[in-house]
Amino acid sequence: MTQNHTDSFLARRDGRLGLMIWYRLSRVYNQSVKETHQHLKRWNLSAAQFDMLAQVGAHDRLTQKQLADKLFVTKGNITQLLSRLEELGLVQREQQWKTKYVSLTPKGKELFDEVVPVQEQFQASQYDGLDRDEKRQLLDLLKKIQS
């Protein structure tokens, strides 16, 4: 076998391994999203609504722009989600000059205190099959991939 042929074979094998990793990560992610949606039905929340509730609650008050940046969604999506949470009495918006602020209502704070710790424990429990060292290693590898 020539060196070029060996290099080509190894590149294909590594590419195939990379593809298998991508498929596995995709399946794990999709399964997690599905289970999260199922779990949040207890509180009649979508994952997007939960994310918004968690972010606003963790920061007491955010501008709509800060919220959009934290959630990686468009301004239009933020407006639609906020309108729905406002209708449910969970958030309130106030405008100070050109800036729109978002905060939790007392009802929203109560829901935040109830759902966030339970949901965080639920999310964390999905990795109970790993010991502490494996969790640390997985986190480090995912960070390495991301950078």
Residue 94 in domain: yes
Q: What is the spatial distance between Cα 85 and Cα 83, in angstroms, rounded to a whole number?
A: 6
Q: What is the spatial distance between Cα 104 and Cα 53, in angstroms, rounded to a whole number?
A: 8
Residue 6 in domain: no
Q: CA-based angle 61:77:103, to the nearest 5?
A: 15
Q: CA-based angle 14:128:23, to the nearest 5?
A: 30
53-83 pLDDT per residue, tens:
999 999 988 888 888 888 877 777 888 889 9
Instruction: Give the pTM.
Output: 0.77
Residue 122 in domain: yes
Residue 22 in domain: no
**CA distances from residue 40 to 16, 90, 117, 123 in whole angstroms, order as listed:** 36, 16, 12, 11
Residue 130 in domain: yes
Residue 133 in domain: yes
Residue 36 in domain: no
Report the half-sphere exposure of 75 (CA within 13 A, side-chain side). 4
How many structural domains does the chain have? Answer: 1
Token pair recorded at residue 99 = 């800036």
In this prediction, the residues of the chain whose per-residue pLDDT falls under 70 are 1-14
What CATH number did the domain enclosing 60 receive?
1.10.10.10
Domain that holds residue 49: 44-146
Closest Cα partner for 90 from 117, 65, 114?
114
Rounded to 10 degrees, the C-alpha dihedral 74/114/45/69 comes to 10
Question: Cβ distance 82 to 93 under 8 Å?
Answer: yes
